Structures are given as C-alpha cells and as structure tokens.
C-alpha cells in the first residue's frame, strides 16, 4: 500500500538500502522483543515464539544476561575502568551501559557498535546527543575498522583502560577466526583493560540444562543470526590467556557470586583482565 506521493514505497526502499532484512529474523530484534521492547518486526516475533516453544526459559535468560551486564559495568567502574566499547550492543533498552556508567561516573565514555540497522537507528534516537556516548554501525569482525570509526576513535582513549563488552553476542558469530579477531581488539587496548563476556553453551554436567540450551539453538535456526554453542574450553579460549576475575567462568547468574535461588541459564559469563 502507498499514499498518492508513494511515500511508503520510498520508506521501504530506504529500509532496503539501509540493509534491513524484513524476510529473516535478527538476534538484536528478537532480544528486544523478549525484553519487552518495540523495535522488532512480525518475523522477529514469530521466531521468538518458536524459540519460546523450544525453551520457555528464553525470556528469563535474556533478563539474566541484562542483569549480568549491569553487574559487570558496575564492577568495571568500581575498578577504575570508565570507558566501554560495547560490541553487538543491540537495541537499547532500559538499563543501557551509558545509563549505568554515567549515573555513577559522569565522565564515563561509551561507544556502542552494532551492524543491525534497526538497532543502530534506534540507538541514535535513544542517545540523542548524550555527551560521552556514540553509536557506530560496523561489523565487529573487523577490529581495525571498528577502532578507526570516528564514533570509537574520537571518543575512546585506547591508551587508557577500556572495557570490551561482548555480552550475549559471540554465540551469533560463527567465524572460525573469532579467537584471533578478539586478540586483535585486546592488542589494541591498554594494559588494565577488561574483556566482559557472556556466551551460550551446551557444555554442562546437567543433561537437562544442556538440552534446554540446545533447544534455544534450534529455535534460532532459519534466522539471519543462528546460534553457535561453543564448549566451555572454546569459550575460555575466546578470552585469551588473560587472568579471569573471580569466580572465573561461571553461569551468568553466578557472576560475581553464587545465586542459589536462581536457576542456571546455560550461558557462561566472565571478565578477563589484560596484562
């Protein structure tokens, strides 16, 4: 449908030019929907329904990831790290990195990076010229391109510690070169920087937990962002040989301390410190 001026057709053309895929669901928009957001399409909601049918815990897992992000940002701030490079930042929702950081440290700097056009466009709207915050559309698999982008290069001082955030994103990156890609980020950042990560896995002693995580993977099949479930050793490899902050690589709900009342998510979380 279109009006007399053909406006809606032009909007659709602009969306296609921006790289928005209306035919396949996308992880950033699915995540937004599962967190109760509105920046998603029917195809994303349909895929989310299939994921929830496979594992009704998925919305809980998303919220747990969001809570881990908050705790990790607070840990970084408490340890003097006030710059954040958030890769695969997704659609901004309540409790964004910059909201947490700026509330506690007004001089904090947050560079959001994502490749999904809807996520980037909405992030620009949410940020609205907030000082110390930038949004960049770039492919995280290109570290040099990301770090050279004006929104990153002109905001972050890589000569000082930076928190590299890869929360609930690397299991959407199938690239076999991912360990070396992440190593290139670490090589570009100052000593004292930290790598904050959460990642899905079916590598668990509890067979039911492993099955629930594999069900999530199955639910993403056919989307533009299918899930890669790596083993615990493979996830540890993504953090390089750097020292892990206590308690190490643990379930998302158990970082930084055990949460006996919370059911496990099937995802691992950790913070690694750079030498």
Domain segments of the chain: what residues?
58-273
Q: Which residues contact 72 (CB under 8 A, 6 or more apart)?
A: 163, 165, 167, 196, 255, 269, 271
- The single residue listed with the structure tokens 């049918």 is 53
The reported pLDDT for the residue numbered 6 is 34
The reported pLDDT for the residue numbered 111 is 97
Contact 173, 142 (CB under 8 A): no
DSSP secondary structure code for residue 172 in this structure: G
The reported pLDDT for the residue numbered 78 is 97
Contact 223, 45 (CB under 8 A): no
The reported pLDDT for the residue numbered 62 is 82
Distance (Å, whole) CA 273 – CA 109: 19
Q: Give strand ranges (E) for the chain.
A: 83-87, 109-114, 133-137, 163-167, 194-200, 243-244, 250-251, 267-273
| Tens-level pLDDT at each residue, the chain (275 residues) | 223 333 333 333 344 444 566 677 777 777 777 777 777 788 888 888 887 887 788 788 888 998 999 999 999 999 999 999 999 987 777 678 999 999 999 999 999 999 888 788 878 888 888 999 999 999 999 999 999 999 999 999 999 999 999 998 999 898 889 999 999 999 999 999 999 999 999 999 999 999 989 988 888 788 767 889 999 999 999 999 999 999 999 999 999 999 998 999 999 999 999 97
Q: Which residues contact 64 (CB under 8 A, 6 or more apart)?
A: 252, 253, 262, 265, 267
Contact 219, 185 (CB under 8 A): no
CATH number of 58-273: 3.40.50.150
The reported pLDDT for the residue numbered 46 is 85
| Nearest Cα residue to 197 out of 76, 35, 55, 28 | 76
């Amino acid at each position: 449908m279109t009006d007399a001026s053909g406006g809606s057709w032009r909007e659709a053309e602009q969306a296609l030019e921006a790289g928005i895929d209306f035919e396949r669901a996308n992880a950033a928009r699915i995540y937004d929907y599962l967190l109760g957001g509105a920046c998603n399409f029917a195809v994303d909601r349909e895929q989310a329904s299939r994921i929830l049918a496979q594992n009704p815990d998925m919305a809980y897992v998303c919220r747990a990831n969001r809570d881990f992000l908050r705790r990790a940002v607070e840990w970084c701030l408490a340890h003097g790290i006030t710059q954040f490079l958030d890769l695969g930042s997704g659609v901004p929702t309540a409790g964004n990195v910059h909201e947490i950081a700026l509330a506690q440290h007004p001089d904090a700097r947050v560079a959001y990076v994502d490749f999904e056009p809807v996520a980037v466009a909405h992030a620009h709207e949410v940020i609205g010229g907030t000082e110390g915050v930038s949004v960049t559309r770039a492919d995280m698999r290109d570290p040099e391109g990301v770090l050279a982008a004006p929104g990153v290069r002109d905001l972050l001082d890589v000569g000082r510690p930076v928190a590299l955030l890869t929360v609930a994103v690397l299991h959407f990156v199938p690239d076999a070169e991912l360990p070396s890609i992440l190593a290139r980020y670490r090589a570009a950042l100052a000593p004292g920087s930290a790598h904050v990560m959460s990642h899905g896995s079916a590598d668990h002693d509890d067979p039911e937990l492993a099955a629930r995580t594999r069900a999530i993977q199955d639910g993403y099949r056919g989307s533009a962002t299918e899930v890669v479930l790596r083993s615990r050793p493979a996830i540890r490899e993504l953090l390089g040989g750097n020292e892990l902050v206590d308690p190490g690589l643990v379930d998302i709900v158990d970082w930084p301390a055990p949460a006996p009342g919370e059911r496990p998510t099937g995802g691992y979380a950790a913070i690694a410190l750079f030498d």
